[in-house]
């Protein structure tokens, strides 16, 4: 709040006429989570791992040498909506312009008014660290021809204003599908929107109405609570979603969060996870012993966790995703929940990589995915081994 | 005497005064907002290998195994100290930082302490074992014409009881009495018997089974209301994956 007030004061001094749109533009940057990738002071440097190599988000402060201080309004609009930088430079879609293309020109104009006021920071960034041939920018021209269908958000007249506002935010500025929608081989959206997708070592879960893997079991108020505070009775956010919540959704206003919830709660159900594991009695028996020994103290024997600190595993959709990537990661590497103003503790989950081998982790996960009424496919030791190897190499 | 005390107190004050200066140059970090966190964090203790000897030579192995077997004899309650790995436990401890006295201040001047203050001399724990076991064998060679390990169990008990009770005097060093040596070995043997198996002793968690201790568990909420009912689960080690 204090920041907002300061920005308003600053805007009034520098150009009184624009005060309103600078303020609105700052809020657009919250919706769009610019800080999440471009850094807290927007001077860049945050590394983004993609299946094709590493991209580093550039400096987008108003610095003339290393930032976007020389941009015109039109340069900015085209970068945001067409993925084309000054001089025709093709941007990689790690910058979520395929989603930002849905944003209205008025919202982009507000955003630009705000960016003109961002304090310049001199910081040169080596953006393109992709592997050959993905490091060749002109390749993006082909990608755009194949996959990029820029279109403004089109309201669905049959739905409520809140639903449309939620859909606009989710598919436009907040680009939820960038993580939650399955991707094809070339990194373009493919399959049912928001039905869950693998990131680099995390699984962004199904957000559709499916009761086992999706948000079917959450009320709209619980969805909004999760996005605002990072936790609710079902789950606690960490990893990439923790960052989204920290920089973006926890700072959205109540009406927008409620709209997002209305939209998400209305998504048609995905096919779910294909049912539970069968013929895994041995895995389940071993998993039960491993759970009692290592997990029960926090998540409790009945899987209900502890409301304030430890998320429940019983009835937790995260535990029942088709992919167990997040689960293996959390158990192996440990994890830390996001800390927000409302829930400042950010409780941590310890790493078990030192103690549990691949088969033990597989048995444990198969157990938590198929006990207390949970149903989800079994997990193999091989799958855990792959995840362990890639986590290890990413953490060095 | 009183002058010496005043001197050492003044020295102490001087070193305390030096502390804040040192502290001011040490690395400092202020944390705000989030607590620091990193993946794969954890410094688990390393389980010792059960094979071979890291500190004791063969003669010492024979003596220490004989001692731990008399301190904890095999009976209907538990296997003997040797089979429980007590000698292995002591060996690994003496080969590591404990044996070097790594956490003890061990610079002169050495002055005699009170009985409650423990050993005050310059020998490390490893040095005391080396000296003590040599002196023990010298003693039994003089008195029984053979090494401690070759004595009958009854003779061994007589020697150990004498060391404890003051009737057996080994040739050690000033400031390191036979009783102190005995108490040190007894203490370390008990540690080996009751410590987590990862340190080399307490094999098969024999001592924990003996006394009904469930081990490194930390959640008894499902049992806490069952009064006068024995906890049904077997003991677990820090390294047990399943329980």
Residue B127 lies in a domain: yes
pLDDT recorded at residue A3? 43
Inspect the interface and report whether the beta carbons of B39 and A333 lie closer than 8 Å.
Answer: yes
Per-residue pLDDT tens over the stretch A272-307: 998 899 899 999 999 999 999 999 999 999 999 987
Number of H helices, E strands in chain B: 8, 0
The pLDDT value recorded for residue A334 is 96
Q: Are A38 and A44 in contact (CB under 8 A)?
A: yes
Taking contacts as CB-CB distances below 8 angstroms, the residues of chain B near A353 are: 40, 42
> What is the average per-residue pLDDT within B169-186?
96
A365 to A26, A325, B82: CA distances (angstroms): 42, 10, 40
Q: Report the pLDDT value the prediction gives residue A1, as an integer from 0 to 100.
A: 39
What are the b/e assignments for A15-48, b being 16+ CB within 10 Å?
A: eeebbebbbbbbbbbbbbbbbbbbbeebbbbbeb
pLDDT, tens digit (0-9, with 9 covering 90-100), for A102-130: 999 999 999 999 999 999 999 999 888 88
Residue A129: per-residue pLDDT: 83
For residue A209, give the nearest of A225, A192, A224 by alpha carbon: A192
A393 pLDDT tier (thresholds 50, 70, 90)? confident
State how far residue A282 is from chain B, nearest Cα, in angstroms.
13
Residues B110 and B163 sit within 8 Å (Cβ to Cβ):
no
- Pairwise CB contact (< 8 Å): A360 & B218: no
Closest by CA to A77, choosing from A48, A113, A34, A41, is: A113
Instruction: For residue B55, report the phi and psi dihedrals to the nearest 5 degrees.
Output: -125, -50
Question: Which residue of chain B has the CA closest to A348?
Answer: B37
Does residue B138 lie in a domain region? yes
- State how far Cα B134 lies from the chain centre: 19
* Largest distance between two CA atoms of chain B: 72
- CATH number for the segment(s) A281-394: 1.10.760.10
Quote the minimal CA–CA distance from B154 to chain A in Å: 44
Percent of chain B with pLDDT over 70: 88
Residue that wins the pLDDT comparison between A177 and A186: A177
**Residue-level pLDDT at A143:** 65
Residue of A6 and A240 predicted with greater confidence:
A240
Q: Do B39 and A391 touch (CB under 8 A)?
A: yes
Residue A292 has its nearest CB partner, among B39, B42, B243, at B243
Residues of A in contact with B242 (CB under 8 A): 286, 289-290, 292-293, 360
Q: Identify the closest residue of chain B to A298 by CA–CA distance.
A: B219
Query: Average pLDDT of B20-26?
Result: 45
The distance of A129 to chain B (nearest Cα, Å) reads 24
A276 in B contact zone (CB under 8 Å): no
SS3 B109: coil
With an 8 Å Cβ cutoff, are B39 and A346 in contact? Answer: no
In chain A, the largest separation of any two C-alpha atoms, in whole Å, equals 71
Name the minimum distance, in Å, from the CA of B231 to any CA of chain A.
Answer: 14
- For residue B14, what pLDDT band results from cuts at 50, 70 and 90? very low
Task: Give yes or no for a cis peptide into B54 (omega within 30° of 0).
Answer: no
Residue of B nearest to A357 (CA): B241
B35:A286 CB<8 A: no
Contact assignment for A297 to B243 by CB distance below 8 Å: no
* CB–CB contact B239 A336 (8 Å): no
Domain count, chain B: 1
Out of A332, A339, A392, the one facing B34 most closely (by C-beta) is A339
- The shortest C-alpha distance from B47 to chain A (Å) reads 11
Q: Judge whether B52 lies within some domain.
A: no
Query: How much is the pLDDT for A8?
Result: 37
The alpha carbon dihedral of A130, A132, A138, A139 has a sign of: negative
Q: With respect to residue B46, please indicate whether it lies within any of the assigned structural domains.
A: no
- For the ranges A256-260, A362-366, B41-45, B149-153, the lowest mean pLDDT is seen at B41-45
More confident residue, B194 or A278: B194
Q: CB–CB of B242 and A293 under 8 A?
A: yes
Q: Give A290 to chain B, closest Cα distance, Å.
A: 4
Which contacts of B204-211 are long-range, i.e. CB under 8 A and separated by 24 or more positions?
B205/B234, B205/B235, B205/B236, B205/B237, B206/B78, B206/B79, B206/B84, B207/B78, B207/B84, B208/B235, B209/B78, B209/B234, B209/B235, B210/B77, B210/B78
pLDDT (0 to 100) of residue B27: 60
CA distance A163 to A259: 6
Task: Tell me, yes or no, whether B75 lies in a domain.
Answer: yes
Here the ipTM equals 0.80
- A8 has a chain B CB within 8 A of its CB: no
Query: Which one, of A192, A337, A215, A330, lies nearest residue A265 by Cα?
Result: A215
User: Which among B39, B219, B241 has the least Cβ separation from residue A356?
Assistant: B241
Cα pseudo-dihedral B174, B177, B183, B185, rounded to 10: 70
Query: Locate tokens 């594991």: which residue?
Result: A277
Higher pLDDT pick, A342 / B140: B140
Q: Which residues contact A106 (CB under 8 A, 6 or more apart)?
A: none
Query: Is B31 within a domain?
Result: no
Cα B118 vs. chain centroid, distance in angstroms? Answer: 14
* 8 Å CB contact of A293 and B239: no
Q: What is the pLDDT of residue B125?
A: 97
Domain with B200, as residue range(s), is: 58-211
Surface of A (314-333) touching B: CB under 8 A: 332-333
Name every chain B residue with its beta carbon within 8 A of the beta carbon of A356: 241
The minimum CA-CA distance between B230 and chain A, rounded to whole Å, is 18
Residue in A closest to B239 by C-alpha: A355
Task: Report pLDDT for B188.
Answer: 98
% of chain A surpassing 90 pLDDT: 75
Chain B contacts to A (CB-CB under 8 A): 33-35, 37, 39-42, 44, 217-219, 221-222, 236, 239-243
Q: Indicate which of A40, A298, A336 best probes the interface with B, i.e. most B CBs within 10 Å of its own CB.
A: A336
Q: Which residue has the higher pLDDT, B222 or A256?
A: A256
In a domain, residue B47? The reply is no
The domain segmentation of chain A, as residue ranges, is 15-147, 161-265, 281-394
Would residue B236 count as lying in a domain? no
Distance from CA of B188 to the nearest CA of A (A): 27
For the cut 90, the answer to whether the pLDDT of residue A31 exceeds it is yes
Cβ contact A362:B243 at 8 Å: no
CA distance B103 to chain A (A): 27
pLDDT band at A20 (very low <50, low <70, confident <90, very high): low
**A60 has a pLDDT exceeding 80:** yes
Question: Taking a C-beta distance cutoff of 8 angstroms, is the pair A99, A82 a contact?
Answer: no
A334 closest CB neighbour out of B34, B41, B44: B41
Residue B8 pLDDT class (50, 70, 90 cuts) = very low
Partners of residue A292 in chain B, C-beta under 8 Å: 219, 242-243
CA nearest to A390, candidates A328, A338, A321, A318: A328
- Mean predicted confidence (pLDDT) in A173-198: 88
Please indicate whether, in this complex, the C-beta atoms of A346 and B42 are within 8 angstroms of each other.
Answer: no
Q: Please state the pTM of the whole predicted model.
A: 0.87
A294 touching B (Cβ < 8 Å): yes
Testing the interface with A: which of B33, B40, B44 to mutate, by most A Cβ within 10 A? B40
Q: Which residues of A touch B218 (CB under 8 A)?
A: 297
- Average pLDDT value for residue range A182-191: 78
Q: At B112, is the pLDDT very low, low, confident or very high (cuts 50, 70, 90)?
A: confident
Q: What are the pLDDT digits (tens) for A312-371?
A: 999 999 999 999 999 999 999 999 999 998 888 889 999 999 999 999 999 999 999 999
Mind giving me the DSSP string for A341-354? SSSTT--EE---TT
Closest residue in B to A352 (Cα–Cα): B40
* Alpha carbon distance B218, A297 (integer Å): 6
Q: Are A302 and A316 in contact, with CB atoms under 8 Å apart?
A: no
Ranges A135-144, B109-118, B151-160: which has the least confidence: A135-144
* Residue A2 token pair: 């204090």
């Amino acid at each position: 709040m204090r920041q907002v007030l300061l920005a308003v004061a600053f805007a009034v001094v520098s150009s009184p006429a624009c005060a309103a749109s600078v303020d609105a533009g700052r809020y657009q940057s919250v919706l769009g989570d610019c800080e999440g990738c471009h850094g807290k002071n927007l001077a860049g440097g945050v590394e983004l791992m993609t299946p094709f190599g590493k991209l580093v988000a550039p400096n987008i402060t108003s610095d003339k040498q290393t930032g976007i201080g020389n941009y015109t309004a039109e340069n900015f609009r085209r970068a945001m909506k067409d993925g084309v930088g000054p001089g025709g430079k093709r941007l990689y879609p790690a910058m979520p312009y395929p989603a930002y293309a849905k944003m209205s020109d008025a919202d982009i104009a507000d955003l630009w008014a705000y960016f003109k006021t961002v304090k310049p920071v001199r910081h040169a960034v080596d953006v393109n660290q992709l592997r050959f041939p993905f490091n060749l920018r002109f390749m993006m021209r082909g990608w755009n021809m194949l996959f990029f269908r820029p279109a403004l958000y089109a309201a669905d007249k049959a739905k409520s204003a809140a639903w449309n506002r939620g859909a606009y935010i989710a598919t436009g500025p907040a680009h939820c599908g960038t993580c939650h929608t399955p991707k094809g081989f070339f990194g373009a959206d493919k399959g049912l929107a928001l039905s869950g997708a693998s990131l680099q070592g995390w699984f962004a879960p199904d957000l559709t109405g499916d009761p086992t893997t999706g948000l079917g079991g959450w009320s709209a108020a619980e969805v909004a609570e999760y996005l605002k505070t990072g936790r609710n009775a079902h789950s606690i956010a960490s990893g990439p979603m923790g960052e989204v919540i920290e920089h973006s959704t926890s700072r959205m206003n109540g009406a927008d969060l409620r709209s997002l919830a209305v939209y998400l709660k209305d998504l048609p159900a995905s096919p779910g996870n294909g049912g539970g594991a069968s013929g895994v009695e041995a895995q389940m028996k071993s998993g039960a012993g491993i759970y009692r020994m290592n997990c029960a103290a926090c998540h409790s024997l009945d899987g209900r966790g502890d409301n304030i600190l430890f998320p429940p595993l019983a009835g937790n959709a995260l535990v029942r995703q088709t992919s167990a990537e997040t689960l293996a990661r959390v158990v192996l590497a440990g994890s830390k929940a996001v800390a927000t103003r409302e829930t400042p503790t950010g409780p941590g989950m310890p790493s078990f990589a030192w103690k549990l081998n691949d088969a033990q982790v597989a048995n444990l996960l198969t157990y938590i995915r198929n006990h207390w009424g949970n149903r989800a496919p079994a997990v193999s030791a091989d799958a855990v081994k792959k995840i362990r190897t890639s986590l290890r190499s990413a953490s060095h | 005497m009183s002058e010496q005390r005043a001197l050492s107190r003044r020295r102490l004050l001087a070193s305390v005064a030096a502390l804040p200066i040192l502290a001011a140059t040490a690395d400092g970090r202020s944390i705000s907002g989030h607590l620091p966190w990193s993946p794969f964090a954890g410094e688990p203790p390393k389980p010792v290998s059960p094979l071979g000897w890291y500190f004791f030579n063969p003669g010492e192995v024979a003596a220490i195994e004989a001692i731990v077997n008399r301190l904890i004899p095999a009976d209907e309650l538990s296997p003997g100290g040797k089979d429980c790995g007590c000698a292995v436990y002591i060996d690994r401890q003496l080969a590591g930082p404990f044996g070097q006295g790594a956490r003890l201040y061990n610079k002169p001047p050495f002055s005699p302490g009170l009985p409650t203050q423990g050993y005050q001399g310059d020998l490390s724990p490893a040095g005391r074992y080396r000296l003590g076991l040599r002196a023990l064998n010298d003693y039994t060679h003089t008195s029984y014409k053979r090494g401690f390990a070759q004595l009958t169990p009854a003779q061994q008990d007589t020697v150990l009881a004498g060391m404890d009770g003051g009737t057996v005097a080994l040739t050690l060093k000033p400031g390191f009495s036979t009783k102190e040596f005995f108490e040190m070995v007894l203490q370390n043997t008990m540690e080996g018997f009751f410590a987590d198996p990862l340190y080399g002793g307490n094999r098969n968690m024999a001592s924990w089974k003996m006394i009904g201790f469930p081990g490194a568990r930390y959640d008894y909420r499902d049992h806490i209301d069952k009064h006068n009912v024995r906890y049904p689960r077997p003991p677990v080690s820090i390294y047990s994956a399943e329980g």
